[in-house]
């Protein structure tokens, strides 16, 4: 392709994170008009954050206005994927709000009305940040141009680089191949592969430029062909070739342990940051069905998953095979 046709400059905030890396890969592969992609992240690790043609690494803090302003000069499209993800009380609520907000029992869809009550800083901050983004749609910016925005909502991302999957794997290895569960069989969650989430971002960005009046100010759930299952059963599907065994605990025992963990976290908080995977919030999320049935992204900007379910599974399992299994072999 002729270089003079490459005119677009993209900025990916959080570009060295889990989703950010998938965004970068898909953008470099699929956006033919890409002239430059700027990867903005607080943590850039030598050797791990490889530079490729058309890519610029920028180390900075999303809460630093001047750093962000400098990074956005001359940018056509901003994909804001920087956030702090925490439902285990590992990170202070004030810091979660600073990054996520200041820096930015049936199947429903984008128009479904439902009661919202957030008890954790992370979901509160994400809801507030989305509201800020959507309200900014149509604002006039410097130079007289208009800012057009939309919001994408992944229901539960998985894929290569997912730290939580690595944690689940390591925990199972430490337990001699046992995965502890207990969520009822009827619970379902919608999961979506990170590469397909990234592809939807690329298509949404194109649509914002081509048809801003239609796409601007809209929210879209991310979806693909990944099957609806509980978090536990979906994770077991990803781990199916690694000979792990699932052992179910009674729900009342899980509830007791979650309450106990929250109590211990409160007691120890002045001296130690106790952050177990199981707490009342994570148990409530895992035990509550959340799925969506929508084709809005297809209707608004012709989204179709870039990877089918077989490819998503194979790519994720190929990554999991790189994990050490020494403890499992010793057990």
pLDDT per position as a tens digit, 63-113: 788 888 898 888 999 998 865 444 334 444 443 334 333 443 334 444 555
Q: Which residue has the tokens 């199947």?
A: 107
Q: Is 293 domain-assigned? A: yes
How does residue 45 score in pLDDT terms, banded at 50, 70 and 90? Answer: low
Structure pTM? Answer: 0.80
Instruction: Specify the pLDDT at position 193.
Output: 97
CB atoms within 10 A of CB 146: 11
Q: How far is Cα 11 from Cα 30, in angstroms, rounded to an integer? A: 16
How does residue 124 score in pLDDT terms, banded at 50, 70 and 90? Answer: low
- Residue ranges of the alpha helices (H) in the chain? 18-30, 65-71, 93-97, 121-135, 163-174, 194-210, 212-215, 231-238, 251-268, 280-286, 296-301, 309-320, 326-330
Between 63 and 59, the higher pLDDT residue: 59
Between 123 and 130, the higher pLDDT residue: 130
Paired tokens of 316: 């994720």
Q: Is 216 domain-assigned? A: yes
Instruction: Specify the pLDDT at position 63.
Output: 79
CB atoms within 10 A of CB 247: 10
Mean pLDDT of 272-286: 81
CB atoms within 10 A of CB 37: 23
Between 292 and 260, the higher pLDDT residue: 260
Buried b (16+ CB within 10 A) or exposed e, 52-70: eeebeebebbbeeeebbee
Calculate the CA 297 to chain-centre distance.
Answer: 17
Q: Is 73 domain-assigned? A: no
Instruction: Specify the pLDDT at position 292.
Output: 83
Q: How much of the chain, in percent, has pLDDT values that exceed 70? A: 81
How does residue 12 score in pLDDT terms, banded at 50, 70 and 90? Answer: very high
Paired tokens of 79: 């994909």
| Residue 322 phi, psi dihedral angles, 5° rounding | -80, -10
Tell me how many domains the chain contains. 1
Q: Which CATH number characterizes residue 100's domain?
A: 3.40.50.720
Secondary structure of residue 221 in the 3-state scheme:
strand
Could you tell me the residue range of the domain that residue 150 belongs to?
83-326
Q: Is 16 domain-assigned? A: no
Q: Is 185 domain-assigned? A: yes
Residue 313 per-residue DSSP state: H
* Residues facing 229 on adjacent strands: 189
Q: How far is Cα 109 from Cα 127, in angstroms, rounded to an integer? A: 16
The enclosing H or E element of 158 equals strand 157-158
How does residue 46 score in pLDDT terms, banded at 50, 70 and 90? Answer: low
Q: Is 24 domain-assigned? A: no
Q: Is 206 domain-assigned? A: yes
How does residue 122 score in pLDDT terms, banded at 50, 70 and 90? Answer: low
Instruction: Specify the pLDDT at position 303.
Output: 97
How does residue 47 score in pLDDT terms, banded at 50, 70 and 90? Answer: low
Instruction: Specify the pLDDT at position 270.
Output: 86
Q: Please pick, among 122, 193, 231, 307, the residue that the annotation labels catalytic.
A: 122
Paired tokens of 264: 């211990």
Asked about 272 being catalytic, the answer comes back as no
How does residue 123 score in pLDDT terms, banded at 50, 70 and 90? Answer: low
Per the prediction, the chain carries an average pLDDT of 81
Mean pLDDT of 209-238: 93
Q: Is 272 domain-assigned? A: yes
Between 50 and 94, the higher pLDDT residue: 50
């Amino acid at each position: 392709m002729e270089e003079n046709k490459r005119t677009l400059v993209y900025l990916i905030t959080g570009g060295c994170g889990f989703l950010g890396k998938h965004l970068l890969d898909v953008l470099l592969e699929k956006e033919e008009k890409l002239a430059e992609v700027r990867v903005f992240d607080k943590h850039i690790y030598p050797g791990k954050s490889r530079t490729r043609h058309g890519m610029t690494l920028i180390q900075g803090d999303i809460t630093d206005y001047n750093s962000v302003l400098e990074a956005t000069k001359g940018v056509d499209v901003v994909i804001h994927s920087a956030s702090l993800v925490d439902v285990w009380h590992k990170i202070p609520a004030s810091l979660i709000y600073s990054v996520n907000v200041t820096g930015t029992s049936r199947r429903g869809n984008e128009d479904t009305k439902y009661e919202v009550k957030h008890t954790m800083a992370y979901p509160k901050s994400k809801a507030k940040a989305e509201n800020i983004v959507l309200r900014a749609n149509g604002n006039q910016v410097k130079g007289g141009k208009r800012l057009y925005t939309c919001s994408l909502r992944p229901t539960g991302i998985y894929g290569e680089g997912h730290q939580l999957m690595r944690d689940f794997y390591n925990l199972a290895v430490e337990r001699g191949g046992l995965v502890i569960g207990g969520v009822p069989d009827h619970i379902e969650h919608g999961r979506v592969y990170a590469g397909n989430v990234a592809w939807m971002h690329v298509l949404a960005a194109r649509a914002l430029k081509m048809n801003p009046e239609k796409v601007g100010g809209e929210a879209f759930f991310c979806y693909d062909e990944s099957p609806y299952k509980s978090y536990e059963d979906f994770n077991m599907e990803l781990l199916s070739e690694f000979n792990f065994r699932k052992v179910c605990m009674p729900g009342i025992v899980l509830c007791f342990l979650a309450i106990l963990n929250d109590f211990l976290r409160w007691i120890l908080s002045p001296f130690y940051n106790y952050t177990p995977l199981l707490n009342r919030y994570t148990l409530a999320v895992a035990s509550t069905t959340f799925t969506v049935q929508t084709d809005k992204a297809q209707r608004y900007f012709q989204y179709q998953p870039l990877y089918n379910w077989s490819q998503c599974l194979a790519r994720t399992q190929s990554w999991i095979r790189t994990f050490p299994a020494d403890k499992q072999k010793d057990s």
